[in-house]
Structure formats: structure tokens, C-alpha cells
Amino acid sequence: MTFLPYEDVPLYLAVNGHTGEYIFAESAQLSVSQALSANRHMDDQVLQICEYGLGASMNYAPINFAANVDFPVVLGPIDGPPKPLATSINKIPSGTKITFPNEKHLFFSNDVFPNGQEYIVSLKAHSGGWNLSSDESQSGYFEPIFDYSTQAPVEGSLSVNFYVNTGNLNSFFNITGLSNPSQYPPIDEEKITGHLGDFRFSDAYLTDFNFSLSPNSISQASASFKVYGELIHDSSATTAYFSSSLYQQQSVPHGKYSQILGSQDAGMNHPISFSYAISVDRKPRYSTPTGSSFESQGLVPDRVSKSSTKITMSMQGENLDPNILINGFDGKRANLTAVVKDLSYAGFEDNSNGTLHTFNCSGVIDSQSLSVGSAGYLNGSVSVSQLLR
């Protein structure tokens, strides 16, 4: 097996039905999980011996065991009725130890797969010349392999740290935008498709997006997706990677000319950096399968709807607004707009777009802070939150 280097594991994303982009990612992680629990009840690991033999008399009579000799037993309480092993058990491997009181042990002679009907099993002892009293025979404890059942659908996650650019800023990293401008109601729930390296996915939904900007630096962002459905290995997925637009120069947001508008509403006249985050709760809806257990229905949600969507914008600067404490219970409102720009070069094809995108947050100030350190300056921090829907 060969471990692939970073440069050979591209991330490709596309809004379903649209042309996608390779993402200039610093790191990416794709994972899948499912909540499972064992289907067990309190006494499923307790073995009771009703009778030695094949159930002719249903009357318990102790026998002296011989070493390494198989013998059949009927399971269940003394005097019956017989009781099969619990169907919560997937398998009892051959040689599994059964522990009885007073340090006595028996062992399963063969693999056992409980089906809810068979109540006769074959056991053996590793040493001879002893027996089980009627009381001891009712308290055998063993450790089987249990069956498991799902408690929730299979769900994956994709997280990526990347550089925002003109190829991705207005599409799959835009929670509030529309991939189809004529859509009504104007809520975009379209899925994202793509691949990480050679592993393809077809049902991803953006849940979180955030980025920050500060003077003389480009913007780095992070995003998280929920992923449903199959993860397919496709060795041909990356064939177009090295000839893709990822290796063409694109415009990226930069802190030199980007602006924060409305900072005075939050008591700050000279913001020096800001961050923007938006998150949305996604609710998958599934149909109950009616046919074969191998059908994909029920494994992939019919719809992944948006519910609560929250925007948070914070900025750092020279001050804060002390009047936030006297605005009663309604909070002090602020309207912030981040105008994201590139380096606005003149005479160049790239990084000469000027304004790339605007991000708005119209909400209430929910936190402020002041800090100062040795050989430093007094810094203020303000956070504004908006519940979008």
C-alpha cells in the first residue's frame, strides 16, 4: 500500500447539476459514523441447564464430567420448560467459557448461532471428576458476541480549511445564496457532490462556514458539511486534477482593501480585523424502506432541510461601546457589512476585481471585551449575532 502525499489528494466540490471547482485546501478530513447499540437484555448472558441429554425427562440430575468429552444439554430452568438462547446473541464461538459458582467452568464445544428455536447445545469440561448442583446449574455466565442495531442513520462529515477565491466564494460555500436564482421559496437546499482524492460522495450539505481577515494577509476559511449516502472509491476521479483551474491564478480576498461598514454602531471607529461565521441546522428526512434490505431507500435522505440559521460577526479595534449595559433587555443593535476585496491590481488579469463579495450581519451585540498587555495597546472586541431564519 502506498501513502499518498498531500498534493496528490485533491478536494473537488460542485453544487449538484453544476460545474465544480478544485479547492485550494490546506487540510481536509472526511469521516463516517453510525450510532449502534447491542440488542441485549439483562439475563441474555446467563445459561441455565435444565437437563443433561436430549430432553427425555426434563428432570435435572447431576452427572460427573469427564475431561474433554462433549455432552448435550437442554437449556432452561430446572423442571422446564426448555428455553433457547437469546436471539440478541449473534454468535457464541467454540471454546467460550461458562462460569458457574464455586469456580466451576464448562465450555461450548462448537460455534453456536442462536435462532430462537434451538435449546440443545453441546458443552464439555476441561477437567473431570466433578459436577454441578441444581442451584449451580442455573447460574452459568458467559460472554457471547452480541448483535447490534442502528440507533441513527449512517452520517458522514467533511471538514476543510481552505483559501477563499473567485472560484468558490459564490457557490458551495454560500449558505444563504441560491444555486438557482428563480427558485421559490428562496431557500436553497441543493446538495453538494464531489470527491476527496479517489473517494466520491454525492449527498453533502454545508452546515458551517467561517473566515477572518486582518491587515496585510489573505483570508483563510473553514467549512463543514454533513455527508449522506455511499462513499465510492473511484481511481479515475483525480485524472483531471493537474490540468484543472486550481493551478490557474485566481483572485483571493485580502485584508489590505477589505472594509467593515457600520462599526461605529458598535462603538468602534478603527477596526483592525474581523471574522465572519454562519451556521445552519440541517434536518434529514428519510422514507421507510418497503422492499429489499439492499435498497438505497432509507439510507439516503429524501430531503435535508434548513432550520435555524445564525450569523455571527466579530471585530477587533481600539474601543467598545460602554452604553451596551443601559439598553435594557432588548440589547443594542448593530448592522455590520464586510466588503471583501482582493488586492485590486491595475493592469493585471488576476487579483484586479476589486470587490469580490459582501457579507452582512444585522443583529444585536452579544459580547464585548477590553484587553491590554505589557508593551501593547488597549484592544476592544465586539461580537454581533443575527438569527437569520
Question: Apex CA 268: angle with CA 264 and CA 272, to 5°?
Answer: 120
The number of angstroms, rounded, from the C-alpha of 246 to the middle of its chain's C-alpha atoms is 28
Question: Between residues 138 and 259, which one has the greater pLDDT?
Answer: 138
The Cα-based distances of 319 to 266, 268, 274, 325, 381 in angstroms read 9, 5, 14, 15, 8
Does position 96 have pLDDT exceeding 70, yes or no? yes
pLDDT band (50, 70, 90) for residue 38: confident
Q: Within 13 Å, how many C-alpha atoms sit on residue 136's CB side?
A: 16
**What pLDDT sits at residue 296?**
56
129 grid coordinates:
471428576
Q: Pairing between strand 11-15 and 192-196?
A: antiparallel
Under 8 Å between Cβ of 34 and 227: no
Cell digits for 218? Answer: 489573505
Looking at mean pLDDT, say which of 187-191, 216-220, 281-285 comes out highest: 281-285
Q: Which residue has the cell 446473541?
A: 89
Closest CA to 132 of 173, 167, 98: 98
Sequential DSSP letters for 324-336:
GGGSTTS--EEEE
Which range has highest mean pLDDT (12-26, 109-123, 150-164, 173-187)? 109-123
Residue 185 has pLDDT above 60, yes or no: no
pLDDT in tens, 129-158: 999 999 999 999 999 999 998 887 888 999
Provide DSSP, 164-195. Answer: --TTTTTTTT-SSS-SSTT-SSS-----EEEE
Q: Closest by alpha carbon to 72, among 5, 9, 149, 124?
A: 124
Q: Is the distance from CB of 146 to CB of 86 less than 8 angstroms? A: no
User: For residue range 310-350, what is the model confidence (pLDDT) as tens digits?
Assistant: 999 998 888 776 665 555 566 778 888 888 888 877 766 66
C-alpha 52/C-alpha 137 separation (Å) is: 11
Mean predicted lDDT score pLDDT of the chain? 83
Q: What is the pLDDT of residue 9?
A: 85
Going by C-alpha positions, the residue among 88, 96, 92, 81 that lies closest to residue 48 is 81
Neighbours of 117 (CB within 10 A): 7
**b/e per residue 351-383 (b: at least 16 CB within 10 A):** bebeebbebbbbbbbeebeeeeeeeeeebbbbb
The answer to whether the CB of 130 falls within 8 A of the CB of 137 is no
The yes-or-no verdict on residue 174 having pLDDT over 70 is no
Radius of gyration of the chain (CA): 32
Backbone torsions φ then ψ of 6, nearest 5 degrees:
-50, -45
> Do residues 94 and 124 make contact, with C-beta atoms less than 8 angstroms apart?
no
CA 63 to chain centre: 55
Q: CB burial class (10 A; 0-12, 13-18, 19+) of residue 18?
A: middle
* Model confidence band, residue 172 (pLDDT cutoffs 50, 70, 90): low
**Beta-carbon-side half-sphere exposure of residue 202 (alpha carbons within 13 Å):** 10
Mean pLDDT of 295-302: 69
Q: What DSSP string describes 212-246?
A: EE-TT-B-EEEEEEEEES--EE-TTTTTTSTTSGG
Q: Bin 292: left if φ > 0, else alpha if -120 < ψ < 50, else beta.
A: beta
> 52-79 burial by CB neighbour count: b if 16+ within 10 A, else e?
beebeeeebeeeebeeeeeeebbbbeee
